[in-house]
Amino acid sequence: PSSMPFTEADFADAWQRSTELIPTLGGAKVGHAFNGIFSFTPDGAPIVGESRDVQGLWVSEAIWVTHSAGVAKSLAEQMITGHSEIDMHECDLYRFEKTDLVPSNVARTSAQNFVEVYDIIHPLQPKVEPRPLRVSPFYGRQQELGAMLLDGAGWERPHWYESNSVLLEQLPEQWQAPKREPWSAQFWSPVSAVEAWRTREAVAMYDMTPLRRLEVGGPGALALLQKLTTNQLDKKVGSVTYALMLDATGGVRSDVTVARVAEDRFQVGVNGPLDEDWMLRHADSDVYVRDITGATACIGLWGPLAREVLAPLTSADISHTGLKYFNGRTIHVGGVDVLALRLSYVGELGWELYTDADTALRLWDTLWEAGQAHGVVAAGRSAFNSLRLEKGYRSWGTDMTTEHDPYQAGLGFAVRKAKGNFIGASALQEERGGPVLTCLTLDDPSHVVMGKEPVLIDGTVAGYVTSAAYGYTIGKTVAYAWLPAGLQPGDHVAVQYFRDLLPATVMAEPLVDPDMNKIRC
Ligand code: THG
């Protein structure tokens, strides 16, 4: 039940005090009253969607009064047309991690959500319990290095490493970050500047283990992935392809990397549980889809000196031509089997190095030791997010969702219309128009915003920031925002941060290495 009979006695005292505080209330009468029961989910949002197992069984649970009209509209749209006008991934029935669904975790998290429901919570504020739930094989090393750990999808994820603070003395002036006001200074450290600097100018190790990956295999694997994605995947074994998954209306459901590791087997880097759900809904019996995230681990080894670190550790040819950009291959490093994918979300030379969970610590230690001579640092998500924004790499769910088509999101390059016959293809014949994802920088280097702020043009709200971070390489805050089409580099806008209007400028993107000289070398 979501409502129980009204109990006057529970209400009387609060009502009495309310009328003292706001005397005009005294003349009002309560017209309709009931005892509402709050439903709490692991993330506070409703649970809406059609069962994957029982066709026609729709779930619509944990709907608060404040959600009710919107959820009803969206649910009706989904039932009738298969598509919600407003993106609903944060309410999806299948969004949860396995650990979210363990009853004792549900109870603990929900009890805490009840306490905090009306609090203003910092976007990075971590859960207190239950933690730690998911840790990578490098967790011990991370603790030794003083990792500042925050939780994400149940994982412990280093945001920066306190041990790098000794390098602050060596940090060149132009890489130093301005002091922050108290709100944006929370869960942030100037040490992130050191990690960004070393990534751009030397080499860094990023724990990419929490990046969700699926193995898609079997005789029907290629056909399934071809149907679900926008890019051409029928390429040779060893190829890696960046592609989008669209819904039937051409909205962006996800962006993925697809590595063809064998004729009938692919490793797909995805964004969350919904991608697996989408694949399972479309998979015939000649395909299997398996989440291999917890069974494997990943280190992003990135920076201009990444090859100096890795080359002496392997007999494989990892030169620019030996293992090309957006290609992958199994190599041996320090006695361990490694799948090396040559790509980088931070926009530097290097590889994502995958290995089984049991051999991962040895891989970390081997790279760490070899990296010492080249100034390697362990680097965290704070630097990571800054570097990827400077490079213009979008983060699905934040920067774009099903509300946007690929062209609006600046991702038209990942669509091969000629491939034909993938989900969403016919809808792309006509582009949607509407707002476009626009790169901004804040004019005053000491200003920082955090995402979700309104953006004003000529004093009127025209859109909102998706993600933002201080860009250490460029010495300014980078903010991506949905804004009306037609803005030109150099145009002036303002970002509202609490009560302040911060001047910002539209920029040509990406801000760093637009010619790919750092990556393709
Ligand atoms: N690594 C892997 N899989 C992933 C991510 C990742 N899947 C989810 C998410 N992250 C996908 N996002 C991106 C975004 C950009 C790039 C890779 C993954 C990227 N883009 C090149 C560019 O735009 O210049 C693509 C160039 C090309 O298509 O040739 O590298 O981090 N494994």
Distance of alpha carbon 510 from alpha carbon 33, whole angstroms? 55
CA-proximal residue: ligand 1, atom 17 (nearest): 345
Distance of alpha carbon 364 from alpha carbon 158, whole angstroms? 15
In the prediction, which pLDDT does 2 show?
Answer: 74
| Joined tokens for residue 384 | 């990571």
Distance of alpha carbon 246 from alpha carbon 303, whole angstroms? 32
Contacts 24+ apart (CB under 8 A), 160-164: 160/189, 160/191, 160/192, 160/195, 160/379, 160/380, 160/382, 160/383, 161/191, 161/195, 161/377, 161/378, 161/379, 161/380, 162/189, 162/191, 163/378, 164/191, 164/194, 164/195, 164/198, 164/377, 164/378, 164/379
Tell how strand 204-207 and strand 377-379 pair up. parallel
Q: Best of 209, 240, 245, 257 to mutate for ligand 1, by most ligand atoms within 8 A of CB?
A: 257
Q: Best of 206, 216, 235, 255 to mutate for ligand 1, by most ligand atoms within 8 A of CB?
A: 255
Tell me, in angstroms, the distance from the centre of ligand 1 to residue 270's CA: 10
In the prediction, which pLDDT does 429 show?
Answer: 84
Distance of alpha carbon 273 from alpha carbon 294, whole angstroms? 13
pLDDT tens for the chain, 521 residues long, are 678 999 999 999 999 999 999 999 988 988 999 998 888 999 999 999 999 999 999 999 999 888 999 999 999 999 999 999 999 999 999 999 999 999 999 999 999 998 999 899 999 999 989 999 999 999 999 999 999 999 999 999 999 999 999 999 999 999 999 999 999 999 999 999 999 999 999 999 999 999 999 999 999 999 999 999 999 999 999 999 999 999 999 999 999 999 999 999 999 999 999 999 999 999 999 999 999 999 999 999 999 999 999 999 999 999 999 999 999 999 999 999 999 999 999 999 999 999 999 999 999 999 999 999 999 999 999 999 999 999 999 999 999 999 999 999 999 999 999 998 999 999 998 788 899 999 999 999 999 999 999 999 999 999 999 999 999 999 999 999 999 999 999 999 999 999 999 999 999 999 999 999 999 99
Tell me, in angstroms, the distance from the centre of ligand 1 to residue 439's CA: 18
Distance of alpha carbon 363 from alpha carbon 267, whole angstroms? 20
Q: Best of 208, 343, 439 to mutate for ligand 1, by most ligand atoms within 8 A of CB?
A: 343
Q: Which residues form the pocket of ligand 1, taking CB atoms under 6 Å from any ligand atom?
A: 211, 242, 255-257, 269-271, 326, 341, 343, 345, 352, 393
Tell how strand 492-497 and strand 500-506 pair up. antiparallel
Closest ligand 1 atom to Cα of 269: 3
Task: For 289-310, give the DSSP string.
Answer: EEE-TTTEEEEEEESTTHHHHH
| Joined tokens for residue 16 | 């009495």
Q: Best of 232, 242, 387 to mutate for ligand 1, by most ligand atoms within 8 A of CB?
A: 242
Tell me the angle at which helices 221-228 and 273-282 cross, rounded to the nearest 10 degrees: 110
CA-proximal residue: ligand 1, atom 22 (nearest): 393
Name the residue ranges covered by the structural domains of the chain.
3-98, 134-209+296-390, 219-286, 433-521
In the prediction, which pLDDT does 1 show?
Answer: 64
What does each C-alpha distance from 196 to 177, 188, 380, 392 come to in angstroms? Answer: 11, 13, 9, 15
- Supply φ then ψ for residue 242, to 5 degrees: -90, 130
Tell me, in angstroms, the distance from the centre of ligand 1 to residue 510's CA: 14
Tell me, in angstroms, the distance from the centre of ligand 1 to residue 239's CA: 13
CATH 3.40.50.2300 fits 134-209+296-390, yes or no: no
User: In angstroms, how far is CA 360 from the centroid of its own chain?
Assistant: 23
Choose which CATH entry (3.40.50.920, 2.30.330.10, 2.60.450.10, 2.40.30.110) describes domain 433-521. Answer: 2.40.30.110
**N- to C-terminal Cα distance for the chain?**
62
In the prediction, which pLDDT does 433 show?
Answer: 86
Distance of alpha carbon 74 from alpha carbon 87, whole angstroms? 9
Considering the domain 3-98 in this protein, what is its CATH number?
3.50.50.60
Q: What is the pLDDT of residues 101-145, one digit of tens each?
A: 999 999 999 999 989 998 999 999 999 899 999 999 999 999 999
Tell me the angle at which helices 381-390 and 191-201 cross, rounded to the nearest 10 degrees: 50
Decide: helix, strand or coil at residue 353.
strand
CA-proximal residue: ligand 1, atom 31 (nearest): 345
CATH architecture, range 219-286: 2-Layer Sandwich (3.30)
Tell me, in angstroms, the distance from the centre of ligand 1 to residue 347's CA: 10
